[in-house]
Amino acid sequence: MSAATMDRLLTTVRDTAKHGRRRTIVNTPLRKSIAVRTFGDWNDPPPGFFEMDMVVHCGKSTVGSYVHSLVMTDIASGWTEAIAMVVREQTLVTESVSEVRTKLPFPVCGLDVDNDSAFINDTLVSYCRDNQIELTRCRAYQKNDQAWIEQKNGAVIRRMVGYGRLEGAHTAAALNKLYTAARLFVNFFQPSFKLLSKTRQGAKVIKKYHPPATPCERLLERKDVSDECKELLRQTLAALDPVKLLCEIREAQRVLAQLEVGGARVETTPSTPELSGFVASLSTAWRDGEARPTHRKRTSGPRTYRTRTDPFEAVWPQLQQWLNEQPDANAKELFLRLQESMPDVFPPGQLRTLQRRVKQWRSEIARQLVLGLVSETEPDRELCFAGATIHSEVLP
């Protein structure tokens, strides 16, 4: 039957069917037992309530195993922690959360996750229950429910690591070394905006933001943060050097770029052990283009092969003879002479190809005249350039 007949017979079915694509969501008893928290349900919580997500470093293909980054962002302050995992596994998730908790200056009170099976499982539910951590989840297919973590995934993780493919335990260790320096730089020295209010007037949305501040500054300003936590933050801030942290980040990115799967990147600058050398290089870093080794483009190099068949390969000996007879002849004159001798063989669009080939041949002749590089297989061949004919045996 034709397509029109099928459309006519299916008209009744389409009218009774629901419009739009239906997504299948498996609501298991475990998933139902976890409360749902939307974007508007936070209501300015105290520090300690985190959104948690996973960033994959698979490159352009999700086939095989690759490194994952577990990212946690505090809603109140924007404090961001990340840790690399060799594979995506629920036991590693709980171990990674325990590792992050030891580095935080304040306790973890709650975790908000998406509907990934690496988070919605008995292992994480039992871990949160045993450690008195509130576990919530966002709505399926609603990215805005985890707006804070999604923003940090791009502004921190992707900006630091890039989009290449990372595999193996050695690469995960190099990524964790990058995160060790990046967490201090981002949380203590990198200010960011935080949304204050959002109002809609028809189709126009008006957003207002708090003044930009670092996560450390936001924690020091809050009254619900303990004095011990604030003192720890002040001591840590006083001992940090942002330039040294940036130097460590660049060195970790350089190592990570070399471990990336999928081809060698551009040659990166060797590591500078002295901090003074790194500081001196900052004034001229703009000349090298992209400063982050993880974001530099791969080297392609000049193309040394042809993508199409050379139309003048068969007649090139004849063209060389004409050039020997008339060294001053240009490519256009040679092309017209070819069209006269061989009609309907060379269309006008091939003139540019002949011009490039004649230019290349004359450049080779000039190089031989200057450097004396004559082929040993053709010692009696005459070299023609700019109207001059020189026999090869007189060249030094």
Q: Where are the domains of the chain?
A: 29-295, 316-394
> Model confidence over 219-248: pLDDT tens digits?
999 999 999 999 999 999 999 999 999 999
CA distance 4 to 62: 40
29-295 CATH, one of 3.30.420.10, 3.30.9.10, 3.40.50.880, 3.40.50.720 = 3.30.420.10
Residues found in the chain: 396
- Check whether 271 has a pLDDT greater than 70: no
Give the list of residues 6+ apart from residue 75 with CB closer than 8 angstroms, or none. 42, 45, 49, 50, 51, 148
DSSP 8-state symbol, 342: S
Q: What is the pLDDT of residues 3-47, one digit of tens each?
A: 889 988 888 888 777 555 555 556 688 888 999 999 888 888 999
Can you tell me the mean pLDDT for 315-324?
90
Question: Which residues on neighbouring strands pair with residue 81, listed in sequence order?
Answer: 72
| pLDDT value of residue 14 | 80
- At 299, the pLDDT band (50, 70, 90 cuts) reads low
Q: Is the pLDDT of residue 204 over 70?
A: yes
- In this prediction, residue 107 carries a pLDDT of 94
Give the distance from CA 325 to its chain's centroid.
57
C-alpha–C-alpha distance, residues 356 and 249, integer Å:
47
For residue 56, give every residue at least 6 positions away whose Cβ sits within 8 Å of its Cβ, in sequence order, or none. Answer: 62, 66, 68, 69, 88
pLDDT given at position 293: 82
Q: For the segment 123-148, what is each residue's pLDDT rounded down to a tens digit?
A: 999 999 999 999 999 998 888 899 99
Give the distance from CA 299 to its chain's centroid. 16
How far is it between the farthest Cα atoms of the chain? Answer: 95
Lowest mean pLDDT among 58-62, 271-275, 344-348: 271-275
Q: How far is CA 184 from CA 57, 181, 364, in A?
A: 22, 6, 57
Q: What is the DSSP letter of 394?
A: G
> Quick one: tokens of 82?
């990340």
> Who contacts 269 (Cβ-Cβ below 8 Å, separation ≥6)?
254, 281, 288
pTM of the entire structure? 0.68
Q: Is the pLDDT of residue 303 over 80?
A: no
Return the closest-CA partner of residue 51 out of 74, 68, 35, 31: 74
Residue 265 has pLDDT above 70, yes or no: no
| Minimum mean pLDDT range among 19-28, 51-60, 331-340 | 19-28
The pLDDT of residue 388: 44
What single string gives the DSSP state of each residue in 84-144? EESS--HHHHHHHHHHHHHH-SS---EEEE-S-TTTSSHHHHHHHHHTT-EEEEPPTT-GG
Full DSSP string of 259-328: H-BSS-BSPPPPP-SSHHHHHHHHTTGGGGS---GGGPPBP-----S-SS--TTTTTHHHHHHHHHH-TT
* pLDDT, position 21: 56
Average pLDDT over residues 202-231: 93
Least confident of 151-160, 161-170, 260-269: 260-269
- Identify the pLDDT of residue 307: 80
Angle, helices 331-341/316-325, rounded to nearest 10 degrees: 120
